[in-house]
Structure 1
């Protein structure tokens, strides 16, 4: 693959947004990545292995937090110390607008896919969506939701890092696989259309 093509590629860091999330997933922020890994591992162990209940865990954590803040505030008032540094407890309009814009993008993508399948009758896209849903259903039947989320966290902390390191080799393999799958899907689409069109032509000739 030429140097000009590789130079035009978007880096993995840019593709992930280039912010704090990208730094954590690519382990550029070691503290954040380690925190996500350890916290997700502890949560998975508590709820999956130790049999801890989610509702009781959340209530106990909140209870502990409320007690700590109460005694901290009491001690601060008695000892003339600053109060607990709590952030501003409200959601800004800018945050709501960003969340709404992101949600609108995902909804429009879903509606666009539905339009391609239902109106445009895109057989290749329909087969791709069907295969993805069947794969998700199969994986979901093997694992429970919490374990699946934990595996997704582990993949999120490992796959982007590996892809960033071996991007050229992985892209070459993916292009080859994509070309073969697309050729197979086009052959299947043409065979399917022939089966539909040939009987209709025979009916017209008989008329």
Structure 2
């Protein structure tokens, strides 16, 4: 007898029983998942607007990263310098800029973080060049080939904008229309399997007929001889 928790519920999602995790759980159930799935709409919209603004600045206006940073810093220090001079003349408080200094603890943490990840990369490189990890070699080779192929087809800025838009739209749309997408995917999979069976059967029957015909012809030639 099937227990109540195992009994399928009427009108339940047609998703595969092998995937019980939600889309939110697949993305880690944290802040990243909330942003990707529009649970924090202000952050998601801010990222999309920032990506659009950067696309306009770099692609449309023709700025480079170095020129943009230089112009922004130039404008910033000019405004702060003029503010400080005017404040001294008008006896007003200076700009509320805190004392900025990089502490030894922050430097040590950054160095440990960089050292850890660099050592991971070097360890993987050593395993590959010494033939210790074939799976890692094939994985990295495939990823590098894909990066090379995509990089040859488009520039890094367009790829970055496209990736941001895809990451912030496709998972959210899938979560919204999950049942319909799963139903269509299951139907498409069944259709592909059916055509594969028909093709394999027809191909097998074709070769079997040819082999039988060849055997009969060879037997006839031997009999004539």
Q: TM-score scaled by structure 2?
A: 0.55
CA drift of 1:108 comes to 2.5
CA drift of 1:135 comes to 0.1
User: Which residue of the partner structure matches residue 58 of structure 1?
Assistant: 69
Q: Do residues 151 (structure 1) and 162 (structure 2) align?
A: yes
User: CA offsets per residue over residues 81-139 of structure 1, 9 Å max, x none?
Assistant: 33222233222223222322222232222123223323353222211111100000000
User: CA offsets per residue over residues 10-61 of structure 1, 9 Å max, x none?
Assistant: 77356xxx56x67655655544433332222212222212323444333222
Structure 1's unaligned 5+ residue stretches are 174-207
Structure 2's unaligned 5+ residue stretches are 1-16, 186-225
Quote the RMSD (CA, aligned, Å): 3.6
User: Which residue of the partner structure matches residue 132 of structure 1?
Assistant: 143
Q: Do residues 12 (structure 1) and 45 (structure 2) align?
A: no
Moved more, 43-52 or 30-39: 30-39
Instruction: State how many pairs are aligned.
Output: 163
- Which residues in structure 2 correspond to 1:71-86 (within 5 Å)? 71-86=82-97
Q: Which entry has the higher C-alpha Rg, 1 or 2?
A: 2
- Which residues in structure 2 correspond to 1:18-57 (within 5 Å)? 24=35, 27-57=38-68
Q: TM-score scaled by structure 1?
A: 0.59
Decide whether the 8 Å contact of 1:12 with 1:160 is kept in 2.
no
CA distance in 2, matches of 1:84, 1:27: 37
Poorly superposed stretches of 4+, deviation over 6 Å: 162-166
CA distance in 2, matches of 1:40, 1:120: 41
CA distance in 1, matches of 2:112, 2:170: 27
Provide the secondary structure at the position in 1 that maps to 2:87. Answer: helix
CA distance in 2, matches of 1:110, 1:164: 35
Provide the secondary structure at the position in 1 that maps to 2:93. Answer: coil
CA distance in 1, matches of 2:85, 2:126: 60
Identify the structure with the greater helix proportion: 1
